[in-house]
Amino acid sequence: MVFLQHALMDSSAGWLLLGPKRSLALQLADAGFDVWLGNSRGNRYSRNHTHLDPDVHSEFWDYSWDDLAQYDLPASIRYSLAVSQQSSLVYIGYSQGTMIGLAALASQPQLAVSVSLAVLIAPVAFTTAMTSPAFVLSSRLGFDRFALSQGWGEWGSFQQKNSDAIVPVCRRYPSFCLGYLTAFCGSNPRGNVADGMVPLVVRHLPAGTSVKVMSHWAQSLRRGSKRFLHRFDYGSECSNSSSAGLNSAAGGVMRCNMEVYGQVEPPVYDPAAITTPLALFTGGQDTISSLADVELLKGVLQPGVLQLHQHQPDYGHLDFELGVDAPDLVYPQLLQLAVKFGMLTRASTASPS
């Protein structure tokens, strides 16, 4: 059994775009795996709620990736295991999917025992060497702080009319549209995304998230931690009304770290606490998941946790999901690992106690 969790501003659709026999999700299904595709809260496929309307209630958007790691991902994994009647699964995260996976595995031992292997594609734990112009500039300018101060809740929502307008443009000028996308996350000098793939990609992006998620990413860049992943920082000032906008959630409710966590600084997730076997897949042209930051992650992991680190020097951030040669260069070794750890799990479950 395999559970796949997509990247920031992406959706489950991304795992399928390369099509039959080529996309990772469908290759896993062809190999006999029960494949589950997660959708992060707030994207175009995950806007349901028991009583909040995301188009009306700003409270819906009061979440960061911390909430995805603390609540959403564990609940999704538990549900998929229960429905499939399995005791464990292989987790595959991509970009933000790796971040919330690491945080969940580091903080929830009861969840970790149900994950036989975590595959981290374009992993993001630390951001000290991130060079993505959009992320670096917006964090330095504090645009996320401004957005929170204005009470903005949703970020990059999917709009069908915008998609309908841009698809014909990208069909005619695929290089222009691909250049726009790779400007955010790094490009492969070999031009590894087929022209025909580009209009299909923009038909699904952006899938949407919350301003608070984006702010949490920006906080990571500004903090520059080389050891821990930090939970959302609400600030240390609890009584200064002038800071209410910066410390507020999407609904405008003032908070501070002491109120939320009972301490001045936000708590941390410690990757050194992870005991789940990990596999890393990285790219040399990736401006979001830099090799230097990946090495920091490797340096704090316990001995024996890392099973594999496959590095593709020409790969940018998008190649792992959309690259023409990803099915040949990346997926075979990933599938071998999934089969190996899936078989180990079945053998362990079948063996007498």
Active site residue 286: yes
Q: How many residues does the chain have?
A: 353
Pair 70, 229: CB distance under 8 Å: no
Q: Cis (ω within 30 of 0) for the bond into 206? A: yes
Q: Rounded to the nearest 5°, which phi and psi values hold at 121?
A: -100, 125
- The one-character DSSP state at 5 is E
Query: Rounded distance, CA 11 to CA 22, Å?
Result: 18
CA dihedral 339, 344, 347, 352 (to 10 degrees): -160
Catalytic member of 66, 72, 286, 319? 286
Cα distances from 167 to residues 23, 40, 163, 170, 256, in angstroms, run: 21, 24, 6, 5, 43
Catalytic residue among 80, 95, 138, 210: 95
57 counts as catalytic = no
Contacts of 329 (CB under 8 A, 6+ apart): 312, 323
The residue written with tokens 């952006």 in the block is 206
Q: Which residue has the tokens 């609904």?
A: 251
27 contacts 33 by C-beta, under 8 angstroms? no
Assess whether 51 carries a catalytic annotation: no
Indicate the DSSP class of residue 211. Answer: H
Q: How far is the C-alpha of 298 from the C-alpha of 306, rounded, in Å?
A: 8
What are the CA-CA distances from residue 8 to residues 96, 103, 155, 184 (Å)?
Answer: 5, 15, 11, 12
Residues marked active site are found at 95, 286, 317
